[in-house]
Structure 1
Amino acid sequence: MVNRYIFFAAIAVFLVGALYSVNFFYFFGGALSNDGANWDQFGDYFGGVLNPILSFISIFLVVRSLVLQSEANQAGERGERIRAFESLFFNMIDRQSAGFSDFSIRSKGRVLTASEAVRFIEGEIERISSNSIEEIPNAIKFYDDGDEIFKLSRMFYVSEKIVHEKLSDENGFSKKDREMYYNVLINMSDFALLRLIMISMRFLSYKSSDFLRNNSELVFVMNGLGLDYKMYGEMP
């Protein structure tokens, strides 16, 4: 870009000199003068015409330089925000995975953990829904007497909220940025945990579940990956 304006300045210098020469020699049949005063007048003409043009180009280049510097500073700040965000974001995903490893429920004297516990809850949802789907929330809470589903739902919600707030439009990010990290969150989460989160979104009225359910960007990404919390049936 700078080279283009240097070229433009060189063309301007050439044209100013060429126009003067054509006008002086061709139309007036002039010859080179030995009088210094005439050369002073030529210098005044040359400088008077070129100075505004070259000054304008110089000012434009200075402004352009400042804009590029500002953009570079903004890119640097954005990079710092991304690094700080990712440190927090991936730390929460690790905590979420550890929390799900410890997830358990009790049924008939048996302790069911992690994926096994989720499959049991899904079986109970299927069994109860054939009779009275409105009883499902109470059944889930009965088996989850330690509120562990609430804890896991909140962990997932916190991870989602980090994306929602840290990568907001106000902070210079876009919907596309947020959707990318929602994809990361979903793909780095255990599939059984995701099913448990969807059960929470479908049947439980926790603040975290409500927030996840009402986040259209997250739901859009989930649907795009073949996940839909409505798969567990409609509530009356």
Structure 2
Amino acid sequence: MSNQALEQKFEAVTPAKLFKWLAWIMAFASIAVAFVFYKYFSEFHGPISTTNADWGTFGDFIGGTLNPILSFLGLIALLLTIVLQSKELESTRKELERAASAQEKSEKLLKEQTATQIKQQFEGTFFSLLEQHNKSLEKLSAPNSRWTEMRSDLEVTRMAVFAEAVLDLKSAKKILESKNELCGHYFRVLYQILKFIATNCPSGEIGQEFNSKDIENATLGDKEKMYSNIVRSFLGYNITQLLAINCFCQNENNSYWKYRLLIERYEFLEHMPIEINGRIHALLAETNNNYNSKAFGRSDFNLPPEKA
């Protein structure tokens, strides 16, 4: 019989079949015992002996005859039992593997569902903030009757900040702060949406602590960059130039320091022109010396003079 045929027979072993085979083995063993005793007493009949030698001879005969037979039958019964136990253990192992695999798939699905929910919650808040940002920017850019020639608050602020008499960024920042009632609300809204992206973006590394070192050194993920680019796409040249003045500060003790780090992290000055009315403006050119080069991204303004 081949090994494959033997394995197939072992696979066919069930508790019911095992009980049946054990019953047959027990019956055969009983017949063997009965037959041996019958043969002995049919050959050596007579009164029961009281001699030790006769009983020793009887024991040797019975033991020598039955021991091999019963041992063989016991071995077969043991092997059948082992085969059945091995089969049950294998079935249990496979069942545990299936359960573990199902658990792993369930955990993976749960993680995916959780990640989807987190993303949906983030995007719901993000686009709500973006809507508020756009409304604030629209209001800031819209002409109104408070000013002559129907100028916008943005135009009026720019005229004051970029006047020829303003010689440095520090002075320009003071003038911009004096116009806080005109554009301060917009810059606060922009800061809050950038802070929200930094601290809540899925897979982001900055976290809720929002400390300066993390803003500077944490890896910028693709999703975080994508959402910040969406915000940046709504900013025109005029508001970007004012943003460079608004976030000007020289050390981390300044209240605008984290705002400045976010501008640098998300390259918000990458498309900022340094010209006003076709001429390079000294204040905007000076920003190149006061912001980290990351703020200007891949713009020519960020390149060495010989390559610009």
Q: Shorter-chain-normalised TM-score: which range?
A: 0.5 to 0.7
Contact 2:247–2:257 (CA under 8 A) maintained in structure 1? yes
Match of 1:184 among 230, 255, 274: 230
Q: Is 2:130 the counterpart of 1:87?
A: no
2: CA distance, partners of 1:68 / 1:224: 45
What secondary structure does 2:151 align onto? strand
Q: Is 2:243 the counterpart of 1:197?
A: yes
Shift of 1:159: 0.8
Match of 1:156 among 186, 190, 195: 190
Shift of 1:189: 3.9
- TM value normalised by structure 1: 0.63
Shift of 1:18: 7.0
After superposition, the C-alpha distances for 1:61-106 in whole angstroms (9 at most, x for unaligned) are: 2122112212212221221222222122111111111112222699
Count of aligned pairs between the two proteins: 201
Deviates more, 1:160-169 or 1:92-101: 160-169
2: CA distance, partners of 1:56 / 1:73: 25
After superposition, the C-alpha distances for 1:99-157 in whole angstroms (9 at most, x for unaligned) are: 12222699996663266456535633xx356x444322222234x152x3321111011
Contact 1:103–1:114 (CA under 8 A) maintained in structure 2? yes
Contact 1:157–1:212 (CA under 8 A) maintained in structure 2? yes
Higher relative CO (Cα under 8 Å, sequence separation at least 6) belongs to 1
Unmatched runs of 5 consecutive residues or more in structure 1: 1-13, 21-32
Cα RMSD for the two superposed structures: 4.4
Residue matched to 2:259:
212
Contact 2:157–2:176 (CA under 8 A) maintained in structure 1? no
Match of 2:152 among 85, 89, 113: 113
What secondary structure does 2:248 align onto? helix
1: CA distance, partners of 2:187 / 2:6: 74
Compared with structure 1, are the counterparts of its residues 16 and 220 closer, same or farther at alpha carbon in structure 2 (3 Å cutoff)?
A: farther
Contact 1:17–1:46 (CA under 8 A) maintained in structure 2? no
What secondary structure does 2:162 align onto? helix
Letter aligned with residue 170 of structure 2: E
Compared with structure 1, are the counterparts of its residues 90 and 190 closer, same or farther at alpha carbon in structure 2 (3 Å cutoff)?
A: farther
Contact 1:101–1:113 (CA under 8 A) maintained in structure 2? no
1:1-236 equivalences in 2 (<5 Å): 17=7, 36-37=24-25, 43-103=80-140, 112-113=151-152, 116-117=155-156, 120=159, 123-124=162-163, 127-128=164-165, 131-142=167-178, 144=179, 146=181, 148-167=182-201, 168-169=204-205, 175-176=220-221, 177-202=223-248, 207=255, 209-215=256-262, 219-222=264-267, 225-226=270-271, 232-233=286-287, 234=289
Contact 1:93–1:185 (CA under 8 A) maintained in structure 2? yes
2: CA distance, partners of 1:224 / 1:140: 18
Contact 1:163–1:181 (CA under 8 A) maintained in structure 2? yes
Contact 1:201–1:210 (CA under 8 A) maintained in structure 2? yes
Unmatched runs of 5 consecutive residues or more in structure 2: 11-20, 26-72, 209-218, 275-283, 291-308
2: CA distance, partners of 1:145 / 1:221: 24
2: CA distance, partners of 1:145 / 1:155: 13
Compared with structure 1, are the counterparts of its residues 194 and 93 closer, same or farther at alpha carbon in structure 2 (3 Å cutoff)?
A: farther
Compared with structure 1, are the counterparts of its residues 110 and 151 closer, same or farther at alpha carbon in structure 2 (3 Å cutoff)?
A: same
Shift of 1:50: 3.3
Residue matched to 2:57:
none
Structure index of larger Rg: 2
